[in-house]
Amino acid sequence: MDDIVDDTPFWSVLEFTYSDRSTDSEFVMMCHQHRFIVRLSVEQFITSPQLRERYLFFLDVAEHFELDGYTVDDFYDWVAEPMLPIFRELSPRNHIGSTLDEFLFPETQVHVVFADGDSMVAEEQQEAEDIPQVKVFLKDGTAAYLKLIDPGDKSILLHEIETYRKIHDVHLGKTLRISRLIGLVQAIDDEDVVIYGLLLTYLDCGHMTLLCAVQLETPTNLRTRWATQVSDTLARLHDAGIVWGDAKADNILVDQHDNAWIIDFGRGYTEGWVEPGLAGTREGDLQALDRIIEFIRTAEGPTSL
C-alpha cells in the first residue's frame, strides 16, 4: 500500500479577534510569507443551520478557552479548512535574503468564509485594506500599537507626524480620548533613514470601532454617551487648531469601558462621510461629525453624498 502524502502546507494564526457584542470574528493567518485576513460572521452561515451552530459553538470555545474537549486550536483548524486550497497554490519561499519590506509588508489578501450549502468556502474581497496595527511592547513593558506605514505614503506620513507634534505642543490634557504618538520605528536603508511605522497609544478595545459597536439593540444611554464624547473631543481639538482629517465612524474606537476614542490623524477622506472638497478641513470634520451622530442615533450607515 502506498504511503499517504500529506500535502497540507504549513500555516499559522498570528492574530485572532472577536467581539462580545456581535458574532464577527477575524483571523490573521500566514502561509509561505503571505498574509491572509479571514473574516466570519453568523450571517454568512444563514444557508446552513448546521454550520451556523458550529460557528456559534466555536465562539463559545474561544470565550471559555476550552469547551466539551475543544480548544481555540480546533477553531483555527475549522476556519483554515476552506483556505487550504488557496494555501496549496502558493509556492514556498526561501527565507534567506528576505528584506525588511517583505517582513513588514507581506503580500496580503482578505477573504470572507461563508456557507455554500453545507460546505464552507472562502472568497477573496477585492477592496483595499487599511494598513494594519500590531500590538507591541516597549522595553519598559508599555504596550503600544505599531501602525505600519506604506513606504509610498511619505506625504501622508509627514502630515500625520506633524499633527501629532501639534497635539503634543498644545498640551492637551491626558484625559482627552485621542490616540497619541509615542515614537517611530525606523531603519537605515542605503544611508537614508526610512520610517516603517508609528508607535501609538495602546487602547484596550479589542479592535472594536464605533461602526461595529453601534447595533440596533444598543441602548439609548450608550448612544448618547458616544455622541457626546466624540462631539466634545472634536470641539477641543478644533479649539486647539487641530483638524481630525479622515473623520468617520471607523476611526473611532470603543474601549472595554464603553468610551469612544478618536484615532487616525492622517490626511485623507472617506466617501460617504466627508465631501472631497472639504477633506482635511474643520468644515469637513464637522460634516463628518453630523453624519457620525446620525449613524449613532439610527444605527444605520451614512447617507450617500
Predicted structure pTM score: 0.61
Mean pLDDT calculated for residue range 59-86 = 93
Lookup: cell for 186: 525606523
32-35, long-range: CB < 8 A, 24+ apart: 32/87, 32/90, 32/91, 32/92, 32/93, 33/93, 33/95, 33/98, 33/102, 33/106, 33/107, 34/90, 34/106, 34/107, 34/108, 34/109, 35/106, 35/107, 35/108, 35/109
Closest CA to 234 of 301, 302, 293, 303: 293
Query: What integer pLDDT is reported at residue 127 of this predicted model?
Result: 46
Q: How far apart are CA 267 and CA 153, in angstroms?
A: 10
Query: If you average pLDDT over every residue of the chain, what do you get?
Result: 84
Q: What is the pLDDT of residues 221-274, one digit of tens each?
A: 999 999 999 999 999 999 999 999 989 998 999 998 999 999 999 877 777 899
Mean pLDDT calculated for residue range 40-65 = 90
Q: What is the pLDDT of residues 126-176, one digit of tens each?
A: 544 455 567 888 888 888 988 877 655 677 788 899 999 999 999 998 899
Q: How far apart are CA 202 and CA 66, in angstroms?
A: 28
Residues 6 or more apart in contact with residue 154 via CB below 8 angstroms: none
Of 97-111, 114-128, 204-218, 251-265, the least confident: 97-111
Lookup: cell for 284: 469637513
Count of Cβ atoms closer than 10 Å to residue 158 Cβ: 12
Residues 6 or more apart in contact with residue 43 via CB below 8 angstroms: 23
Q: Does residue 113 carry a pLDDT above 80?
A: yes
Q: How many angstroms separate the first and last alpha carbons of the chain? A: 67
